[in-house]
Structure 1
Amino acid sequence: MSVNAPTILALDFDGVICDGLPEYFATAWRTYCKIWLPSSQTTPENLTSQFDRLRPVIETGWEMPVLIRALLSGVTEAEIWQNWSAIAQKFLQQDNLTAAEIGKQLDAIRDEWISTNLDSWLDLHRFYPGVLERLHSLIDSPVKPLIITTKEGRFVEQLLQRQGIQLPSQSVLGKEIKRPKYQIIRELIAIATQTPVVFWFVEDRLKTLQLVQQQADLEDVRLFLADWGYNTSAERELAQQNPRIQLLSLAQFAEDFSAWG
């Protein structure tokens, strides 16, 4: 194995392999309508594109319908970029809601959709250009691809199978694992059969990479921020200033590992 290639390549799913923006918005809009009962359930013009642009401010699912609430209440995109956390809390207090209540509603709406019309839910997921081809090329290579995601593993497997990619179940570590990604990485390194272990991790959330960076025993894990995912220009600039984290482009991802920087 070349020193310029990993033995294990761990990938986040949403924001690295798959773009779930259409599903995020559709579920968020249904939740918004359920909670705030607008006079019309027809999606307002331009709302979807605004939501898509602002997706990087979202850290947890409950925030998605609140983002719609803020936009429809006249909060500007510039204000949301600058002060989203405080804005979200303001709407919780103003509307006498809690994050847990909204999250429960959103999960229930998504679960009902999945149980009644799984295919239409799966159809709302799209894949970034070239990523599936790259993933497929790794399946019979010396590099072991893994997926570490907060999405349920069974849905990841179904989405990939629809595209002709069959990964072993043990290669998809989803929401059901219920452990932080840095702990999953630690466990994967401990059970790796191929030595030495050269572990690379590609993620679109800077905070997740920073948490891995804070683990003293994971200092040899090579960290990449996917610049095509759900992150901001400010986060990408921070990554470029961090000697442990490398900014990775979609074009680089499709190339040989030696081109990854």
Structure 2
Amino acid sequence: MKNPIIYALDFDGVICDSAIETGISGWKAATQIWPDMPVDAPTEMVELFRQARPIIETGYEAILAMRSLYLGATVDSLYQGCAEQFQALMQEAQVDSAQLKKLFGDTRDLWIAADKAGWIGQNPLYAGVVEKLARLNQHSDWYVVTTKQERFVRMILSGAGIELADERIFGLDRNLSKIEVLKILQDRHPEQALHFYEDRLPTLLKVAQQAELANVELLFAAWGYNGAAEQAEAVAAGFKLVQLGEFLV
């Protein structure tokens, strides 16, 4: 008998710790726009990106974050005003978000074509998550709700031995917001409780404003790309803070 809970899981920062791969892909893509950057991402830049990773909502923004860091931006400055910095970089390079999304995806595809195992290796699932997802496959309906391109999600899950049907992966390709996806899942499973695990507080705050989604259980993944300040803010806003160990039970 199926578990009455439907799981809607963000991918990066909930299932997969993709910060290093995202940073390296962002750097590789940035070098194609700004050839003054070295071909290989310096280790210290990748580490700075990992610290700044919580600001990234959609993968292509890693291109702009890496360019900003190369130009001397601090992690703190990105937290304080990355939107303005990113917009200025896009205007300077005369590129828009659609072009950057394509460049980011193409850059990943080239890396995968050259070294698929190495690329997957830079996208590890959090400790214990493989076993958790395998158990969910046996007794629960679960979905991936992400801004990542779906083919990358499939590749990473498959590399970890987890199979998930295409119709259960809602990614960037569908041009749907997470709010829209949650409404689809709620309509698809009207008699079951929907639990949404997300590591970005702004996303949860947007979902919480939707009256139609008032019955969705919103869970803040403390093991993902967020910090102590955001966690305290999440608790103050009434969200349940979940540690990795609690999710794995």
The correspondence for 1:112, drawn from 110, 113, 119, is 110
Runs ≥4 residues deviating over 6 A: none
8 Å Cα contact 2:196/2:218 also seen in 1: yes
Give me the TM-score of the superposition, normalised by structure 1.
Answer: 0.83
- Quick check: 109-118 or 32-41, which moved more? 109-118
Paired position in structure 2 for 1:180: 177
Identify unmatched segments of 5+ residues in structure 1. 256-261
8 Å Cα contact 1:62/1:99 also seen in 2: no
The correspondence for 1:130, drawn from 125, 128, 131, is 128
Identify unmatched segments of 5+ residues in structure 2. none
Residues 1-261 of structure 1 aligned to structure 2 (within 5 Å) = 7-38=5-36, 40-93=38-91, 95-100=92-97, 101-115=99-113, 117-141=115-139, 143-192=140-189, 196-243=191-238, 245-255=239-249
How far 1:118 moved relative to its partner?
A: 3.7
Aligned with 1:56: secondary structure? helix
Q: Structure 2: which amino acid aligns with 1:127?
A: L
Aligned with 1:127: secondary structure? coil
How far 1:45 moved relative to its partner?
A: 4.3
Label 1:38 to 1:173 Cα distance change in 2 as closer, same or farther (>3 A): same
Structure label with greater radius of gyration: 1
Q: Deviations over 1:131-189 (max 9, x none)?
A: 11112122222x32222222233432332232222233333333333222222222222
Give me the TM-score of the superposition, normalised by structure 2.
Answer: 0.87
Label 1:34 to 1:120 Cα distance change in 2 as closer, same or farther (>3 A): same
Q: Deviations over 1:208-246 (max 9, x none)?
A: 222221221211110011111122433222211112x21
8 Å Cα contact 2:7/2:141 also seen in 1: yes
